[in-house]
């Protein structure tokens, strides 16, 4: 039985209409999802059923992963308490008033309140020659200024609330690179700055004029260096796969190597810190789902707490800190 020409044309038009409707629906849905992700609301719903794996006494954690584009506070009950969408991130600070200093890309520093509302922002510009600048470290100082390390411009700046540069410290970088000059930078008790120079493989302390007063050749692409209360320096060695504690005389007094912890392999070691209880906080980035992303280790090198969440986060989690209200 043959259909008429009009019937065939009607069927063809109907198929075309249905195809156009399907494409339009998919595009509209994607736009809604992207907008919701940027606002953080969709992320909270999406990950609400996921569960982190914690060993030891459960605690709340801020973590950020640039593979899944998520920064979040995960409570001790493993429920997400707070989220924000990001593109890239290398640092974070929880401020005393409950605000957060973080970044959504390597081109900015953003302060948000406890509800995630933006209250302040600093955008990186260009170098004097028009080259790119990236930000990989920042800190709100006790005097209210904000320290920002500008890679590419090879300097540390301190800016006020109006983003005016109050003080600038030049860094010794032979060949400035926006992505490799620095990783974390931390103030020291004497008012200097301890800089992790990733490309140079050196932890270096600068005074406020830019003079080098101490340095240690790590020999790998280190991520972090923290001056401890005892005067030693704790270093996250990046692709050196270890954590080391170095004396002022540059002697390694304590370390954890790549395969020294039972059941754990260390990969790209990013943030490290010495907790009040004397244990060491270690962020174990790019280690794969077989390994925890964050660890707490005793001086005797026993893992007493760990965090692993490859549902919400991915294999590019360089930022994690303990969270307390």
For 264-283, the pLDDT digits (tens) are: 999 999 999 999 999 999 99
CB atoms within 10 A of CB 123: 12
Token pair listed for 232? 């030693």
- 306-137-141-279 Cα dihedral, nearest 10 degrees: 20
Q: What whole-number distance in Å separates Cα of residue 271 and Cα of residue 43?
A: 25
| Range of the structural domain that residue 71 is part of | 47-322
Do 198 and 298 lie in one domain? The reply is yes
Do 119 and 25 lie in one domain? The reply is no
- 3-class DSSP state for residue 30? helix
Q: What is the pTM for the complete model shown?
A: 0.85
CB-based contact 268:223 (threshold 8 Å): yes
Strand order in the sheet with 243-246: 224-227, 233-236, 243-246, 252-256
Reported as type and span, the H/E element at residue 17 is helix 5-39
Do 138 and 2 lie in one domain? The reply is no
- 3-class DSSP state for residue 66? coil
Token pair listed for 263? 């059941």
Do 184 and 276 lie in one domain? The reply is yes
Token pair listed for 165? 């540069």
Q: What whole-number distance in Å separates Cα of residue 270 and Cα of residue 2?
A: 71
CA torsion sign for 113, 85, 52, 322 is negative
Do 87 and 176 lie in one domain? The reply is yes
Do 288 and 243 lie in one domain? The reply is yes
Do 33 and 52 lie in one domain? The reply is no
Residue 39 main-chain phi, psi, to 5 deg: -80, -15
Do 73 and 97 lie in one domain? The reply is yes
For 207-220, the pLDDT digits (tens) are: 999 999 999 999 99
Average pLDDT over residues 319-325: 91
CATH number at residue 72: 2.120.10.30
Mean pLDDT of the chain: 88
Strand-pair partners of 27: none
Residue 116's pLDDT band, with cuts at 50, 70 and 90, is confident
Q: What whole-number distance in Å separates Cα of residue 145 and Cα of residue 281?
A: 27
For 241-264, the pLDDT digits (tens) are: 999 999 999 999 999 999 999 999
Do 27 and 52 lie in one domain? The reply is no
Structural domains in the chain (count): 2
Do 221 and 281 lie in one domain? The reply is yes
Token pair listed for 275? 């907790």
Average pLDDT over residues 11-36: 42
Do 255 and 272 lie in one domain? The reply is yes
């Amino acid at each position: 039985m043959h259909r008429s020409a009009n019937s065939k044309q009607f069927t063809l038009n109907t198929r075309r209409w249905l195809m156009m409707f399907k494409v339009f629906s998919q595009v509209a849905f994607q736009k809604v999802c992207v907008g919701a992700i940027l606002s953080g609301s969709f992320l909270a719903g999406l990950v609400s059923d996921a569960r982190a794996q914690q060993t030891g006494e459960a605690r709340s954690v801020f973590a950020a992963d640039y593979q899944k584009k998520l920064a979040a506070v995960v409570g001790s009950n493993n429920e997400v308490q707070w989220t924000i969408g990001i593109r890239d991130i290398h640092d974070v600070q929880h401020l005393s008033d409950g605000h957060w200093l973080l970044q959504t890309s390597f081109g900015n520093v953003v302060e948000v309140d406890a509800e995630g509302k933006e209250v302040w922002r600093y955008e990186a510009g260009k170098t004097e020659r028009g080259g790119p600048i990236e930000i990989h470290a920042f800190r709100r100082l006790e005097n209210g200024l904000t320290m920002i390390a500008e890679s590419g411009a090879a300097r540390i700046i301190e800016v006020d609330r109006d983003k005016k540069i109050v003080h600038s410290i030049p860094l010794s970088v032979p060949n400035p690179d926006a992505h490799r000059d620095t990783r974390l930078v931390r103030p020291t008790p004497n008012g200097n700055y301890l800089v992790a120079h990733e490309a140079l493989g050196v932890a270096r302390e600068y005074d406020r004029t830019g003079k080098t007063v101490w340095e240690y050749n790590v020999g790998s692409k280190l991520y972090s260096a923290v001056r401890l209360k005892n005067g030693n320096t704790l270093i996250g060695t990046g692709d050196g796969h270890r954590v080391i504690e170095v004396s002022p005389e540059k002697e390694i007094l304590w370390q954890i190597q790549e395969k020294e912890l039972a059941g754990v392999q260390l990969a790209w070691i990013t943030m490290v810190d010495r907790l009040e209880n004397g244990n060491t906080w270690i962020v174990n980035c790019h280690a794969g789902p077989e390994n925890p992303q964050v660890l707490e280790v005793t001086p005797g090198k026993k893992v007493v707490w760990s965090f692993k969440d490859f549902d919400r986060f991915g294999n590019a989690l360089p930022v994690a800190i303990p969270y307390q209200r």
